[in-house]
Amino acid sequence: MAVHYVGNAADIPEGSFRTVDVSGRSIGVYNIKGEYYAIHNYCPHQGAKLCKGPVCGTMLASDVYEYIYGKDREIVRCPWHGWEFDIKTGKSLFDGKVRTRSYPVRIEEGRIGIVIGRNEEEPVTADKK
Ligand code: FES
């Protein structure tokens, strides 16, 4: 596990994002209501630069003839074919198994750190090999 510092938190105000390059990976860092999230700038459908898509919300599950808008500014929509992903988790809205990679973010002394790699203290399980 390595923490890569990519800039100052103050440079990404609430409701905005920035793409950064970390070890050859393009990563989008988003500030959602004061919390920072990082996702791979790559759509698993056909490889578009996901973070070029608009940030929006979505319609939540609801009863028939009921429309409830939610997750405002927490969703990014792929610019090529419109697949939508939850910025907080990297999961697509239509199938949680389809996802772009998300990375833990640490704020240390005002700097944004993106954690990449397996935590060596975590036990190795079959899905982490
Ligand atoms: S490349 Fe993203 S939805 Fe097709």
The rounded Å distance from CA 113 to ligand 1 centre is 28
Query: Hey, where are the domains in the chain?
Result: 2-119
Nearest CA among 22, 25, 40 for reference residue 78:
40
The rounded Å distance from CA 85 to ligand 1 centre is 11
| CB of 76 sitting under 6 A from ligand 1 | no
pLDDT, residue 117, reads: 86
Chunked in runs of 10, what are the mean pLDDT values of the chain (129 residues)?
A: 94 97 96 97 98 96 95 97 97 96 96 82 42
pLDDT, residue 2, reads: 92
Task: Give the model confidence (pLDDT) of 45-54 as tens digits.
Answer: 999 999 999 9
pLDDT, residue 113, reads: 96
pLDDT, residue 1, reads: 81
CATH homologous superfamily of 2-119 equals Rieske [2Fe-2S] iron-sulphur domain (2.102.10.10)
pLDDT, residue 119, reads: 58
pLDDT, residue 122, reads: 46
pLDDT, residue 25, reads: 95
How do 17-22 and 25-32 pair as beta strands?
A: antiparallel
pLDDT, residue 112, reads: 97
Note if the pTM is more than 0.75. Answer: yes
Measured from the CA of 48, which atom of ligand 1 is nearest? 1
